[in-house]
Structure 1
Amino acid sequence: MSDTTSDQTHALSDVLDTLEASLDGDSVTVEHVIDKLGRASFASVMLIFSLISTSPASAIPGVTAVVAMLVLLLIAQMMIGRESVWLPDFVSRKRMDADKVQQGINWLRKPVAWVERFIRPRLTFLFHRPWLWLPMILIAALTLIMPFMEIVPTSGSIASAVIALFAASLLTRDGVLACLSFGLLLVVPVTLYFV
């Protein structure tokens, strides 16, 4: 196995490692986490916050709504071609309980390690326009209804998991994973409508 493949397959774990290293004290700000992840890495930032909302840390009141706002801002900036992440002060200064985030990281380790076994760069043409526009538009639409999902237990976590899949596909350039997330993006709103 080449070094490139090895680096690629551990990309998701590396993001978790970076998040864990950013935890210092009783709480951590959104801005601090983004600075650690790298302001040019939209995929890493989107992945980590959608994973937080998927994990037990989503039990923190308002987390789903904050993550939805973050993802919407990230998607909008990606679509207009910004090169670095920008967030308004009221979002970037939002604090998260470090212990809850750490619990979320620990919970995510095993599923992320399992998923990484199957991820590799493929169908990379899907990460260029116009192919990339449709999932981004669907994700933007999904984020608009996510704050209301906190009323229905686990529904916000399901939506966040779908966004995490898309972010993981961006990070690892895995077109098959992108297709899976696209399929789920079409299914989730319909499923939630009938729930």
Structure 2
Amino acid sequence: MQSEEPRLLLIIEDDAAFARTLVRSFERRNYRVLHASSQDEATALLEEHSPGYAVVDLKLHGNTSGLACVQMLHQYDPEMLIVVLTGFASINTAVEAIKLGAIQYLAKPSNTDDIEAAFAHVAGNTEVELTNRSTSIKTLEWERIHAVLAETDFNISEAARRLGMHRRTLARKLEKQRVK
């Protein structure tokens, strides 16, 4: 973890309003914050800065996956603490984010407290409560939809084709389950 003060944080988020809120909130907590809305912007910032922390949105404009950003950041600095935020949470993308170098994966809505707690909670926890509840069909369907969306770089038409459903049906399901 970076010991320099103020702590340097890179936020990769394409929602300008949400990014502004995060930037202001982290600045009030004595972080120095850089903001990029794409992987290219983040790469350019890394040429001049060495952040110890990063917050990455899973789905960026243009169907760009934040997973590519996580991989790039981890390759740049394997010690960087990377938290992935998403409104499209699934087990598949959570596992891939961790494999690529993220330390935590949080579903939106998450606030600065949640993200800062994620930065502090790097090690695994063996005390996590195990549940005997089986996974519902709806949950399995939801996870499968998001796995296919991730495979298709969030292309709804291609995901619908692979899932064997009409594009509008998939769009309605996504809108109904949207987490923001």
Q: Give the TM-score range, shorter chain.
A: under 0.3
More strand by share: 2
More helix by share: 1
Q: For CA contacts below 8 A with separation 6 or more, give which structure has more relative contact order.
A: 1
Instruction: With the length of structure 2 as denominator, give the TM-score of the two structures.
Output: 0.27
**Rg: which structure is higher?**
2
Instruction: With the length of structure 1 as denominator, give the TM-score of the two structures.
Output: 0.26
